[in-house]
Amino acid sequence: MAEALDLHLSGIRKRFGPVEVLKGIDLQIPDGQFTTLLGPSGCGKTTLLRIIAGFEIPDAGSVHIGSTDLLALPAHKRPVNTVFQSYALFPHLRVADNIAFGLRSRGIADADVRKRVGEMLEIMRLGDLAKRHPQQLSGGQRQRVALARALVNEPEVLLLDEPMSALDASLRHDLQAELRRIQRRFQITFILVTHDQDEAIAVSDRILVMDHGTIVQDGTPEEVYERPLTRFVADFLGDANILPARRLAADRADAGFAALALAEAPTWDQGHLAIRPEDIEVREQEPAVNGVRGRISERLFRGDHWDLMVEVGDGRSLRVMTEPDQFHQTGESCWLELPPDDLRVLRD
Amino acid sequence: MAQREVIDGTLTTRARARLRGLLLALPGGLWLLAFLLLPMLSLVAYAFAGRDEFGNIIWSFTWENVQAAIGYDPVGALTADPSDDWAPHHLQILGWSFWVAGVTTILCLLIAFPLCFWIAGRPERWRPVLLALVLLPSFVNLVIRVSAWELLLKHDLFPAQFAQWLGLVGEGMSLYPSSLAVYLAMVSAMLPFTVLPLYTSVERLDWSIVEAARDCYAGAWRTFRHAILSQVGPGLGAAAILTFVPTLGMFLITDRLGGSKMSLVANLVAQKFKAVDFPQGAALGLALVGISLLAVVAFTWLTGRDRRGEVR
């Protein structure tokens, strides 16, 4: 029964000296979901992962997989495996023996161990490297061994602690796709910790954005990216323009440089709006709604798009992304359109 | 002109780079030649030299000294039964020396291992201070330290009186000469040489590998074996060698605290040289060097097993 293996966390608190790292985390992760804990360093995401793994004990709260109380079990008895940031492969063991380690710890018969390790070597495309030592492998290869060493145990939850932070960008892209493929194949709950928003968006079913020991937003990658709830989320994912604003009516707010029409009602008198650089359109003529006159002060060619800084008066500039074939000169004046549907009313 | 290329960040030719390397190695090489290789060669020469009836060296070649060193005794000076050519005396001393050095090494490792983990777990600014405290006793001359042990173990002080009260030693007896006194002094003298090499490898320990072992269902022993021992193995080997070999050559401690029954091979060598029996001393000295080399090879092999992938 699938539901029996859901992961439940409730009221998790953890304090290191004067710092409260986790301030009461409640969380439910359905079996087989690829969940990402996303946040800057120090937000508590790694501590939360280590609590699930059993390397930290929370000050309060509970962790269950189905009806199994994980906090009652020491780390080496939990049905959970971890892929470590530094890979943490056993330096004295060959690749095949590294992968076999967990099975041998549990006293599984040698023939069975050999069979399962052989299968795992094949799935992870490590067959040729089975007899090598970790020191003889590249970063990407070590990463795959670490993944294989964890997966061969068929854990109920796989924890990944920034598994790609030590790899270069192109390798990271390959491994993101690989990770997604493996998760689909094994149908195991994956919990990934990362500070890289692109990685989170690329691999996850669900993203939990964390800040200062709390979960500030929980949703699919599309939801979290398109509909940020707070200034922190809007800024951390995709670098949105954040505009201080004053409420004028149920569908209008004054952003200082212009009064803007909104698709949703502000919940505050003084607050913030967010709009993504790629949602702002550059126009020749004044648009029908939310047109803003501006002057291009900076432009950077990024290959697949242009990054423009546009001065809009009131001492403010907006970041605008345009297509590579949309050519604008620095110093040029233009109209910007801020579509009401793309203007988010933030909570804070 | 020879082809120039960049070697170690300098534009130079291959021949020049080689010359530079040789020059850098020269002082150390000369030192080893003068103070290690030449004395060793003279030791070998003495070990095979004979003596005339007045005890003067004759530069002939004979196996007699080496044979005597391992207990062959054609003259019958050591054997109780003159018809028996073999005397176990020297072999016993060799075996005994091996035993004392082995026990000292094991005791030192048993003390140093938890100590190193404890020091490595202290805040960073305290670690050098604690290491200096471990080293501090070795700043005092060994003769003085041995005298201090003699004082401490004297019959009228608390340790000896306590042992007397327990009936472990006779009334009015000191705690030395005894093997206890020898081990106390040996361990306290050798401990810094065990702690230092071991500490460097304990301090560099990658704890995430320990967590990985726990994560892979390993119990306490399996975690220790694969996550800790596999990492500190080389440090452990170095510590064992640096403790074992000097202990084997130690004669002051057994001389002063061990009494006549606890003579080690080093005492025997010292005794032979004092008696101006250079060939005998040299042959025994060679045996000592041989044992030490064997020990180094054995420890290196043991701690190198992990690297060769012979463990699962």
Per-residue 3-state assignment (H helix, E strand, C coil) for A251-303: CEEECCCCEEECCCCCCCCEEEEEECHHHCEEECCCCCCCEEEEEEEEEEECC
- The token duo for B217 is 């269902």
Which phi and psi (to 5°) does residue A219 adopt? 180, 180
Q: Which residue of A has its CA nearest to B234?
A: A92
Whole-number pLDDT of residue B312: 47
Confirm or reject contact between A151 and chain B (CB < 8 A). Answer: no
Spell out where chain B has E strands.
4-7, 10-13, 50-51, 57-58
Among the ranges given (A132-136, A192-196, B159-163, B305-309), the one the predictor scored with the smallest mean pLDDT: B305-309
Amino acid at A87: Y
* Distance from the Cα of residue A243 to its chain's centroid: 24
Is A218 exposed, middle or buried (CB count within 10 Å of its CB: 0-12, 13-18, 19+)?
middle
Whole-number pLDDT of residue B289: 87
CA distances to A8, A28, A31, A160, A318 from A189, in Å: 12, 12, 5, 11, 40
Confirm or reject contact between A54 and chain B (CB < 8 A). Answer: yes
List the A60-65 sheet strands across, edge first.
A19-29, A7-16, A60-65, A68-69
In angstroms, the separation between the Cα of residue A229 and the nearest Cα of chain B is 36
CA distances to A246, A262, A291, A345 from A249, in Å: 9, 9, 18, 13
Confirm or reject contact between A89 and chain B (CB < 8 A). Answer: yes
CA distances to A140, B27, B34, B42, B266 from B38, in Å: 53, 16, 6, 6, 21
Confirm or reject contact between B226 and chain A (CB < 8 A). Answer: yes
Asked if the peptide bond before residue B39 counts as cis, ω within 30 degrees of 0, the response is no
The residue whose two tokens read 């340790």 is B159
Over residues B139-158, the mean pLDDT reads 88
Angle between helices B278-304 and B89-120 (to 10 degrees): 40
β-pairing verdict for A241-249 and A306-313: unpaired
Whole-number pLDDT of residue B308: 56
User: Alpha helix locations (H) across chain A?
Assistant: 45-53, 95-105, 110-123, 139-151, 169-186, 197-203, 221-226, 231-236
Alpha carbons A176 and A267: distance in angstroms, whole number: 38
A77 and B217 in contact by Cβ < 8 A?
A: yes
Q: Is the pLDDT of residue B210 over 80?
A: yes
In sequence order, which residues have a C-beta less than 8 Å from that of residue B103 and are 6 or more positions away?
B183
Which phi and psi (to 5°) does residue A176 adopt? -60, -45
Using a CB-CB distance cutoff of 8 angstroms, which residues of chain B are in contact with residue A89?
Answer: 209, 212
* Distance from the Cα of residue A69 to its chain's centroid: 27
Using CB atoms, pick whichever of B211, B218, B309 lies closest to residue A105: B218
Q: Which long-range contacts (CB under 8 A, 24 or more apart) does A126-129 make?
A: A126/A95, A126/A99, A129/A95
Q: Is B171 helix (H, G, I), strand (E, B) or coil?
A: coil
- The token duo for B32 is 């080893």
> What interface predicted TM-score (ipTM) does this complex get?
0.83
HSE, side-chain direction, 13 A CA sphere, residue B173: 13
Q: Is the pLDDT of residue B97 over 90?
A: no
In angstroms, the separation between the Cα of residue B194 and the nearest Cα of chain A is 23
Alpha carbons B23 and B17: distance in angstroms, whole number: 10
β-pairing verdict for A333-337 and A281-283: antiparallel
Residue scoring higher pLDDT (B309 or B270):
B270
Q: Enumerate residue ranges in chain A where pLDDT < 50.
A: 1-2
Using a CB-CB distance cutoff of 8 angstroms, which residues of chain B are in contact with residue A97?
Answer: 309, 312
Q: Which residue of B has its CA nearest to A159?
A: B215
β-pairing verdict for A80-83 and A157-161: parallel
Whole-number pLDDT of residue B27: 93
Confirm or reject contact between A150 and chain B (CB < 8 A). Answer: yes
Whole-number pLDDT of residue A1: 42
Q: Is the pLDDT of residue B311 over 70?
A: no
- The token duo for B237 is 């080997």
Over residues B26-38, the mean pLDDT reads 91
Amino acid at A147: L
Whole-number pLDDT of residue B86: 63
The residue whose two tokens read 């073999």 is B86
Please name which of A19, A9, A16 lies closest in space to residue A56, comparing C-alpha atoms: A16
- In this prediction the pTM is 0.79
Which phi and psi (to 5°) does residue A330 adopt? -65, 140
A153 and B222 in contact by Cβ < 8 A?
A: no
Which phi and psi (to 5°) does residue A245 adopt? -145, 160
Domain ranges (residues) in chain B: 95-308
Confirm or reject contact between B227 and chain A (CB < 8 A). Answer: yes
Please name which of A123, A149, A119 lies closest in space to residue A134, comparing C-alpha atoms: A149
Whole-number pLDDT of residue B57: 79
Strand partners, A69: A64
- The token duo for A196 is 């890289």
Using CB atoms, pick whichever of A53, A85, A105 lies closest to residue B217: A105
Using CB atoms, pick whichever of A88, A102, A153 lies closest to residue B211: A88
Q: Is A81 helix (H, G, I), strand (E, B) or coil?
A: strand
Query: B71-83 pLDDT, tens per residue?
Result: 766 555 555 555 5
Band of the pLDDT at B1, cuts 50, 70, 90? Answer: low
Alpha carbons B16 and B197: distance in angstroms, whole number: 36
Which phi and psi (to 5°) does residue A281 adopt? -100, 140
Amino acid at A153: N
Q: Which residue of A has its CA nearest to B229?
A: A92
Among the ranges given (A265-274, B108-117, B249-258), the one the predictor scored with the smallest mean pLDDT: B249-258
Confirm or reject contact between A55 and chain B (CB < 8 A). Answer: yes
CATH number attached to the domain at B95-308: 1.10.3720.10
Residue scoring higher pLDDT (B84 or A212):
A212
In sequence order, which residues have a C-beta less than 8 Å from that of residue A256 and are 6 or more positions away?
A243, A244, A245, A314, A316
CA distances to A288, B127, B298 from B238, in Å: 80, 21, 12
In angstroms, the separation between the Cα of residue A159 and the nearest Cα of chain B is 10
Q: Is the pLDDT of residue B307 over 70?
A: no
In angstroms, the separation between the Cα of residue A87 and the nearest Cα of chain B is 8
Alpha carbons A17 and A230: distance in angstroms, whole number: 29
Amino acid at A104: R
CA distances to B155, B164, B262 from B172, in Å: 6, 7, 22
Band of the pLDDT at B192, cuts 50, 70, 90? Answer: very high
Confirm or reject contact between A104 and chain B (CB < 8 A). Answer: yes
Please name which of B251, B221, B240, B254 lies closest in space to residue B292, comparing C-alpha atoms: B240
Band of the pLDDT at B12, cuts 50, 70, 90? Answer: confident
Whole-number pLDDT of residue B291: 83
A88 and B209 in contact by Cβ < 8 A?
A: yes
**CB-based contact A216:A210 (threshold 8 Å):** yes
Whole-number pLDDT of residue B62: 80
- Report CA torsion sign: B35, B36, B37, B43: positive
Using CB atoms, pick whichever of A74, A92, A149 lies closest to residue B307: A92
